[in-house]
C-alpha cells in the first residue's frame, strides 16, 4: 500500500458562543447569538456566530443582526469579547501542539495537524481523534469537531461533516466516495460566486465535477478550474506548515464600526478610521506587539464588503503612521458614489516588541512616539475615556 499522510483538521464548535456558555452556565439550553447590538431589531451590525440552539431558528454567522432579531427575538444577544476568545484559542492551540509538532493554525478556532507516523503512538487514527477531543474538552470545557484524512482539503470537509462534537475519518482510498454526493460549495475555495458559475454549467454535486475532465474546467476557469478539479477528486498535496506561533501571540488585531445610518460624508469616515486606529494602536502598545500589514474594511450600502491592504517595510505600533496608511487605503478606494455602512481597520503580520530588529528603512518618528507615550500614560492613569486627540472631541 502506498504511503499516505495522516492529516487532521480540528474546528471548535460554535466557538465564541461556546466560550460565553462556559463562562455563564445560565445560558445553557438557550439560543445564544454573538454579534453587535441588535437594538430591538434596529441594530445594523452582523452576527459573529450563534450556538446550535439558535441555529435551529436559522440564525447564522455574517447575517445582519436585525434579521437574527426577527428570527429569534427571545435569543440571548451578547457582544463579542475578543480578548477572552483569543485566550481560549491559545489554550486550544497549546493542547494541539502536544499531539504533533506540525500544527498550522488557520483561524481563531481551527488548525491542521500533520500526525503522519504518530498515529501508532496513539493506537490508531480513531483513538488519536478521540484523545484530542477528550483532552480539549477536559482542559478547556469546550467541544470540537475533528476530521481525519490523507490531505488538508478532505480533513477540513470531514471536520464539518458531523458537527458539533464530531469525529469523521475518511480512510485512504475512500476520498472520492466521501466527496461524490456533497454539494460543490463544500469544496474548499468554492464560494458563492464560483457556486453560481458552476450551477450555470449544471454542476451541483462534487460528482458532477468528477464526471468531467480536468481540461474541461481548465478551459472554463483557468487555474481555478484546475484547482477545483483537483479538490473534487481528492487531490491536494499542500503541506501542513507549522505556524511559528509563539503560543502567546495573536495573529491580528482589529476594530470596526457599523454606522447608525449609511454615511456619505467621507470626512466622517476618516474620523472614524482615526479613532479605530487609535484604539488598535493603544492595545498593541499595551500588549507590546508590532505589526506591518494594515487592512481597511469597507462595507457599502447594500452590504457589499471590500478590503484593501498594504504591507510596509517595518513593524510599527504608533498611531500616526498606522493612521496615515489606513487613510491612504480608504482614499484610494472607489466607492462608486455609494454610502458607507461599516468601516473597519486591521493590523496583522504581528511580532512581539522583544523580537523587533530595526531594519534599514525603519525610522519610527520620534515625535509620534512621544505623543503616543504621553497619551498611553494618561489613559493608564485616568482611564480610557480621559483624553482624546483634538479631532475626536468633535461629535462624530
Q: Which one, 20 or 278, has the nearer CB to ligand TTP?
A: 20
Instruction: Please choose which of Mg ion, ligand TTP, none residue 68 contacts, taking the beta carbon within 5 to 8 angstroms, the exact cut-off set by kind.
Output: none
Instruction: Please choose which of Mg ion, ligand TTP, none residue 69 contacts, taking the beta carbon within 5 to 8 angstroms, the exact cut-off set by kind.
Output: none
Among the listed residues 110, 119, 175, 255, the single catalytic one is: 110
Instruction: Please choose which of ligand TTP, Mg ion, none residue 164 contacts, taking the beta carbon within 5 to 8 angstroms, the exact cut-off set by kind.
Output: ligand TTP
Report, in Å, the least distance between residue 258 CB and ligand TTP.
13
For residues 108-127, which are near ligand TTP according to CB under 6 A? 108-110
Q: Which one, 62 or 391, has the nearer CB to ligand TTP?
A: 62
Any contact of residue 167 with ligand TTP (CB under 6 A)? Answer: no
- Exactly one of 62, 121, 374, 391 binds ligand TTP (CB under 6 A); that residue is 62
List, in sequence order, every residue forming a beta bridge with 254; answer none if it has no partner: 346
For residues 22-61, which are near ligand TTP according to CB under 6 A? 48-49, 61
Q: Which residues contact 55 (CB under 8 A, 6 or more apart)?
A: 14
Any contact of residue 109 with Mg ion (CB under 5 A)? Answer: yes
Q: Which range of residues in 1-9, 102-110, 344-352, 357-365 is near ligand TTP by CB under 6 A?
A: 102-110
The angle subtended at Cα 53 by Cα 48 and Cα 58, nearest 5°, is 65
Report, in Å, the least distance between residue 306 CB and ligand TTP.
16
Q: Are 46 and 195 in contact (CB under 8 A)?
A: no
C-alpha span between 272 and 293 (Å, rounded): 19
Report, in Å, the least distance between residue 319 CB and Mg ion.
33
Comparing CA positions, the residue from 106, 94, 80, 90 lying closest to residue 23 is 80
Instruction: Please choose which of Mg ion, ligand TTP, none residue 49 contacts, taking the beta carbon within 5 to 8 angstroms, the exact cut-off set by kind.
Output: ligand TTP
Report, in Å, the least distance between residue 73 CB and Mg ion.
25
Q: Which residues contact 118 (CB under 8 A, 6 or more apart)?
A: 6, 99, 100, 128
Report, in Å, the least distance between residue 269 CB and ligand TTP.
22
Q: Which range of residues in 106-114, 248-256, 301-309, 330-338 is near ligand TTP by CB under 6 A?
A: 106-114
Q: Which residues contact 325 (CB under 8 A, 6 or more apart)?
A: 294, 310, 312
Q: Which one, 174 or 251, has the nearer CB to Mg ion?
A: 251
Report, in Å, the least distance between residue 185 CB and ligand TTP.
14
For residues 295-324, which are near ligand TTP according to CB under 6 A? none
Instruction: Please choose which of ligand TTP, Mg ion, none residue 61 contacts, taking the beta carbon within 5 to 8 angstroms, the exact cut-off set by kind.
Output: ligand TTP
Strand duo 144-149 + 110-114: pairing: unpaired
Report, in Å, the least distance between residue 311 CB and ligand TTP.
23
Interface with Mg ion: number of residues (CB under 5 A): 4
C-alpha span between 140 and 393 (Å, rounded): 43
Any contact of residue 16 with ligand TTP (CB under 6 A)? Answer: yes
Cell of 301: 450600502
- Exactly one of 6, 7, 10, 14 binds ligand TTP (CB under 6 A); that residue is 14
> Is 110 part of the annotated catalytic residue set?
yes
Quick note: the x/- pattern for Mg ion over 2-41, rule CB under 5 A, is ---------xx--x--------------------------
Q: Which one, 143 or 230, has the nearer CB to ligand TTP?
A: 143
Question: Given the rule CB under 6 A, which residues bind ligand TTP?
Answer: 11-16, 48-49, 61-62, 108-110, 163-164
Would you name the residues annotated as active-site residues? Answer: 110
Give the footprint of Mg ion on this chain (CB under 5 A): 11-12, 15, 109
Amino acid at each position: 500500500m502506498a504511503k499516505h499522510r495522516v492529516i487532521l483538521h480540528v474546528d471548535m464548535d460554535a466557538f465564541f458562543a461556546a466560550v460565553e456558555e462556559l463562562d455563564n452556565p445560565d445560558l445553557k439550553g438557550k439560543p445564544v447569538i454573538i454579534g453587535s447590538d441588535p437594538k430591538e431589531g434596529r441594530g445594523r451590525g452582523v452576527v459573529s456566530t450563534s450556538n446550535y440552539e439558535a441555529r435551529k431558528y436559522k440564525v447564522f454567522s455574517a447575517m445582519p443582526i436585525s434579521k437574527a432579531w426577527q428570527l429569534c427575538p427571545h435569543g440571548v444577544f451578547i457582544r463579542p469579547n475578543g480578548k477572552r476568545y483569543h485566550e481560549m484559542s491559545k489554550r486550544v492551540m497549546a493542547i494541539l501542539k502536544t499531539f504533533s509538532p506540525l500544527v498550522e493554525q488557520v483561524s481563531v478556532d481551527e488548525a491542521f495537524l500533520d500526525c503522519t507516523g504518530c498515529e501508532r503512538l496513539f493506537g490508531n487514527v480513531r483513538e488519536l481523534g478521540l484523545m484530542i477531543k477528550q483532552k480539549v474538552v477536559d482542559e478547556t470545557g469546550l467541544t470540537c469537531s475533528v476530521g481525519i484524512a490523507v490531505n488538508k482539503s478532505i480533513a477540513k470537509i470531514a471536520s464539518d461533516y458531523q458537527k458539533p462534537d464530531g469525529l469523521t475519518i475518511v480512510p485512504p482510498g475512500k476520498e472520492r466516495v466521501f466527496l461524490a454526493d456533497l454539494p460543490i460549495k463544500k469544496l474548499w475555495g468554492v464560494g458563492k460566486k464560483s457556486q453560481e458559475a458552476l450551477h450555470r454549467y449544471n454542476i451541483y454535486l462534487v460528482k458532477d465535477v468528477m464526471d468531467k475532465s480536468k481540461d474541461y474546467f481548465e478551459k472554463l476557469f483557468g487555474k481555478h478550474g484546475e484547482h477545483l478539479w483537483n479538490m473534487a477528486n481528492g487531490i491536494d498535496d499542500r503541506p501542513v506548515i507549522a505556524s511559528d506561533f509563539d503560543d502567546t501571540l495573536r495573529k491580528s488585531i482589529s476594530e470596526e464600526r457599523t454606522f447608525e445610518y449609511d454615511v456619505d460624508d467621507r470626512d466622517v469616515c476618516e474620523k472614524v478610521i482615526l479613532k479605530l486606529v487609535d484604539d488598535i494602536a493603544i492595545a498593541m502598545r499595551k500588549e507590546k506587539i508590532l505589526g506591518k500589514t494594515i487592512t481597511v474594511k469597507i462595507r457599502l450600502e447594500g452590504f457589499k464588503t471590500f478590503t484593501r491592504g498594504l504591507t510596509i517595510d517595518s513593524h510599527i505600533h504608533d498611531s500616526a503612521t498606522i493612521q496615515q496608511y489606513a487613510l491612504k487605503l480608504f482614499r484610494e478606494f472607489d466607492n462608486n458614489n455609494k454610502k458607507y455602512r461599516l468601516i473597519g481597520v486591521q493590523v496583522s503580520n504581528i511580532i512581539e516588541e522583544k523580537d523587533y530588529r530595526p531594519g534599514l528603512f525603519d525610522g519610527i518618528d520620534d515625535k509620534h512616539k512621544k505623543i503616543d507615550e504621553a497619551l498611553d500614560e494618561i489613559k493608564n492613569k485616568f482611564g480610557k475615556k480621559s483624553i482624546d486627540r483634538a479631532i475626536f472631541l468633535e461629535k462624530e
